[in-house]
Structure 1
Amino acid sequence: MPSSMSGGSVGLSSGAASCGVTAAAPGTAGTFTVVPTITPSPAPSPARRRAARRTAAAALVCAALTAPLAVAAPAHADDVKPTKSKAPAPPAAMSAVGGDLLAKPGTQVRLKDGAPKLPKGLSARSWIVSDPESGDVLAAHNAHWPLPPASTLKMLFADTLLPKFPKTEQHKVEPEDLEGMGEGSSLVGIKEHQTYSVHDLWLGVFLRSGNDAVHTLASMNHGVEQTVRDMQAHADELNAHDTHVVTPDGYDAKGQVSSAYDLSLFARSGLQNADFREYCSTAYAQFPGEAKKGKKRPAFGIQNTNRLLTGAFGMKPYKGIAGVKNGNTTNAGSTFTGVAQRGDKVLLVTVMNPAKKDLNEVYKETAALFDWGFAARDEVEPVGRLVGPKSEEGDAGKHSAGKPHGKSAAHLAATESDGSRSGAWAALGIAGGALIVLGGVAFAVHRRWPLPELVRRRGR
């Protein structure tokens, strides 16, 4: 059948009569004209009767062919848009760690009268806005959906390994240290048989999202397999039960998932470490180049891939931004977790895989959620909370309130939505390009989570 039906016709061979098929005009769906050329005769001869039967049969064939068209009845074939594959749907029941509302698919928010509405045009599969001090979750969208995390998983890697090596320790990189990196990995530019300080390696992890730096540090930690085990154990200790670790760097791997909720837990935990705060808030730094005999070792500049921090690729630096980590892979799309301060308010925002494929979409949606969160902080009722680690709260995934959402998450679990404990954490802010100590925090928080010291951004 012709691709366009406007004015088209269907012809039958072998001497059959033609069918005139006229497409319906717009607004007259289902109107087609079938005109069989049958001429009756008062005294047909046998030959004429046979011809008449052939003509009638052709008319029936025409009617049969045009019947499906009458059902569809488009004005033109060009008006029919190709069917697009549907985006994956979130699990019907997810983990209830942090509150029962967080186990539900879709957007969860409890606005008070007069509260600002959530930003329009959010396209991410999952996102969450939380207060890292109190643990309050201000709003969330599929917060516990296990999704590929990309390099935001490096927050868990850093929170797991940072305490193990002093930043002044030196390590000579051997070829086996760099084995096993995924094709097309992001790199900072580590060279074999060159020596780097642990401080240099962490700058490579945070600023350039360098998988070569990750694998070097993993080698120092008795290898990738041991590091993956350590990361999974730490995720479990943090009650991050949506997370299943397969690679230390977040490179796409079968079964590797995390969630916006869990990534927020990793950021919140990591920000308690002064070195973590320094690295994730560093916009620019110098990195050692390749040493050559008889010459001074050169260095080259590296820039943080967090565009809300640097303002790269047409993004404006977000006022008050202090880190933490971005990522992008084929399976994960774009992912980002950020922390920012405005006045005495500190917020964490995690965004995973926007459907809009604008170059800066994950940053735009993060910035919009930050703006909303700062405006709405005192105008919403929390929909859940960020839980503390097992050492403080026990196993928050011990009691299940939702059905398993798939084999990809290692320890899917749920919890009672008990908001009796605040899980208050220390926060960090930025003023004039520097991280500053927050005031006005309860004494109990001072005892539980030491406040960060003054840490200046490197290279600013």
Structure 2
Amino acid sequence: MLKAAKKFSSPLLAYLLCGHAVAATPPEVPPPDIDAPAWVLMDHDSGQVLAERNADKLLPPASLTKLMTAYVLFGKLKAGNLKLDDRIDISQQAWNAKGARLFLRPGSSVRAEDLLKGLIVLSANDAAIALAERVAGSEKNFVAEMNTVARGLGLSHTVFMNATGHDEKAHSATALDLARLAAALIREFPEYYHWFSLKEFSDGRITQYNHNALLWRDLTVDGVKTGQSRSAGFCLIASARRDGMRLIAVVLGARDENARVEAGQRLLDHGFRHFETRLLYAADIPAVRTRVWMGNQSTIPLGAGRNLYLTLPRGWHEKLHARVTVRESLNAPVQQGQAVGTIALDLDRQPLAEYPLVALKQVGEGNLFQRTIDKIQLWLQ
């Protein structure tokens, strides 16, 4: 238990999914009426679930699978293992793909960027298989990597059996896992995410159109993906940004195209109407500076160490207060990122949660003169 030797009050507040001892809760906002067996609405920045039904229920995801396909491929691009100008040979297996396609010819070669856009905009199965074979040697190897990456992202329920999303036994995901995957993709690959907002794609022979009708209906929507199959029904992941707040809505198993569009729109409108997300502590902005003893510097900046966001029903941010507590007698050396205290939140005068307060810079051990002066000052206190 940290000693509350030094306390600083501030109207700034923080929220972390790893927070502790939640005691107070904001008022419950009734969820919207959504015509689908499973759905979730999540804030992108805070990760908070704002409304849900059967969010952890395993269901076939259809072509929403391709979010993970794209996520893995974007990672290959970032690592330099795939380049947008690479020419990729089209195999017989890719040509044999059923469902949405670019109608690639076996034996031909296509630029990786064109295949990625076809995968994202048109949900092209032949493009997905060709890219998977290029980076992993086979679709099977690529699927194994998809599942490894899913575990690394904390998607504990989802299991992939193919890279396209076609119905297959055990190929399943949850709405919450898919929302978290979409958030990771948007956060980690902003340079490629804008492809999900493209309304059409042409390979020079034919022009095909994005199935995400919300791109036409709501100008704040900038992605992400649709899916449909016999087992999965009509599925959708949609993300929109309004006034600096980004939401992600996932709908699984809707009965038809209109139902999934209405569900996605209703979820997004509900979230923006009833909730507000604020950045409370920026990763590199000190919440407080405090004395450090025996160091080559006399003070050290302390903060959250990462961007901390909080989503609450509108009007409730004004009911929040933060208390920053620093460990008594902080002595060097202090490592950057080292926990040295806590940030405690109160909501409407009731404890809400507690989070680590960390050193934003490193302070090394001082020289003999600095240490001697500090020892004298400590002795005189």
Q: Same fold (TM over 0.5)?
A: yes
Give the CA deviation at 1:207: 1.1
Give the match for residue 247 of structure 1: 162
Percent identical residues: 24
Equivalent runs, 1:172-211 vs 2, <5 Å = 172-179=89-96, 181=97, 184-211=98-125
Scaled by the length of structure 1, the TM-score of the pair is 0.52
Establish whether residue 374 from structure 1 lines up as the match of residue 289 from structure 2. Answer: no
CA distance in 2, matches of 1:142, 1:152: 17
Establish whether residue 237 from structure 1 lines up as the match of residue 186 from structure 2. Answer: no
Give the CA deviation at 1:240: 0.1
Give the CA deviation at 1:275: 4.3
**Cα deviation code 1:209-248 (max 9, x no counterpart):** 1101011111112111101100000000000011011011
Contact preservation (8 Å) 2:234, 2:256: no
- Of 120, 127, 148, 1:213 maps to 127
RMSD value, Cα? 2.4
* Aligned partner of residue 341 in structure 1, secondary structure: strand
Give the CA deviation at 1:194: 2.1
Equivalent runs, 1:40-439 vs 2, <5 Å = 112=27, 117-120=30-33, 122-164=34-76, 165-179=82-96, 181=97, 184-221=98-135, 222-271=137-186, 272-288=188-204, 299-309=205-215, 311=216, 317-354=217-254, 357-378=255-276
Scaled by the length of structure 2, the TM-score of the pair is 0.62
Determine which structure has more spread, i.e. the larger CA radius of gyration: 1
Give the CA deviation at 1:195: 1.9
Task: Go from structure 1 to structure 2 and tell me whether the alpha carbon gap of 1:258 and 1:372 turns closer, same or farther (over 3 Å shift).
Answer: same
**Cα deviation code 1:111-157 (max 9, x no counterpart):** 738x5x4323x121111111111111111111111110000010011
CA distance in 2, matches of 1:318, 1:135: 23
Contact preservation (8 Å) 2:234, 2:257: no
Contact preservation (8 Å) 1:159, 1:276: no
Contact preservation (8 Å) 1:119, 1:372: yes
CA distance in 1, matches of 2:252, 2:306: 26
Query: Unaligned regions of 5+ residues in structure 2, if any?
Result: 1-16, 19-24, 77-81, 278-303, 310-336, 338-381
Contact preservation (8 Å) 2:31, 2:52: no
- Which is strand-richer, 1 or 2? 2
* Aligned partner of residue 129 in structure 1, secondary structure: strand
Contact preservation (8 Å) 1:134, 1:423: no
Contact preservation (8 Å) 1:153, 1:250: yes
Runs of 4+ aligned structure 1 residues displaced above 4 Å come to 420-425
Query: Unaligned regions of 5+ residues in structure 1, if any?
Result: 1-97, 100-109, 289-298, 312-316, 380-419, 426-443, 445-460
* Aligned partner of residue 266 in structure 1, secondary structure: helix
The AA in structure 1 aligned to 2:244 is D
